[in-house]
Structure 1
Amino acid sequence: MVGSDNILGLISLIYFKEEKYIKINLIQSSKENVGNKKLYDRIAGCLISYACRLSFVAGYGGCVALQPKTVIAKHYIDKYQFKIGGKNLYIELVDAENLIEEYLNN
């Protein structure tokens, strides 16, 4: 939030330059922003979209991957349009652009 020192969430990214993608190593919303009584709803979406934007800036075509816990994989697929790629989930190109538009440009 502009003008606030509160940490709403965090993300750790690893750049894979040769493979041309960014891996989300860790993503977490603050405890106040998790569950049914969260203060803000779009924290994870904003963080994922930011990773997608960084991927485009790096010339990776918006390609971002993560290896989720099994119980949350369906959530990433349904809510953020990630695709299954082996052990990882990934997003790229148009789906990444759509996330950026929805979470960062609105």
Structure 2
Amino acid sequence: MTIVNNPEIIQGVLSIRKETDHLFMNLLENAPFNIGKNKLYEGVAGNLVAYACKLSFQFGFDGFVAFTAKTKLINHYETSLGAYHFGKGRMIIETHAAKILVEKYFKT
């Protein structure tokens, strides 16, 4: 992900794969300067997840996106993304939460 006025600088990256009925996020990373209290831009990770949700709708998967979270981030993802944790760090974003994210980050 880059920004319009500075397309040379990567703000964050997302790796996804298409499964039979959902998208799976293999990797989601913010640039080092977009992590922590003094981050340059807020919402980079949320924007990338919303993009995955948008693609999931486009592929006919009703917004379903799955990923494996680091243990310390599970509560954060439940709160900020509306994701559900169903064991061993495995999480899923279902249709309702996906719609909210897409509407928040992709104004149409």
Report deviation, 1:94.
1.5
Unmatched segments (≥5 aa) in structure 1: none
Q: Percent identity?
A: 35
> Partner of 1:36 in structure 2?
37
Number of matched pairs: 104
TM-score (norm 1): 0.93
2:26, 2:33 → 1: CA distance? 22
84-93 vs 43-52, which moves further:
84-93
Q: Deviations over 1:42-98 (max 9, x none)?
A: 100000000000000000000001100101111100111001233311012111000
Residues 9-88 of structure 1 aligned to structure 2 (within 5 Å): 9-17=12-20, 20-87=21-88, 88=90
Residues 86-101 of structure 1 aligned to structure 2 (within 5 Å): 86-87=87-88, 88-101=90-103
Query: Would the aligned equivalents of 1:42 and 1:103 in 2 still touch at CA under 8 Å?
Result: no
TM-score (norm 2): 0.91
Q: How much is the aligned-residue C-alpha RMSD, in angstroms? A: 1.2
Secondary structure in 2 aligned to 1:89?
Answer: strand
1:83, 1:105 → 2: CA distance? 25
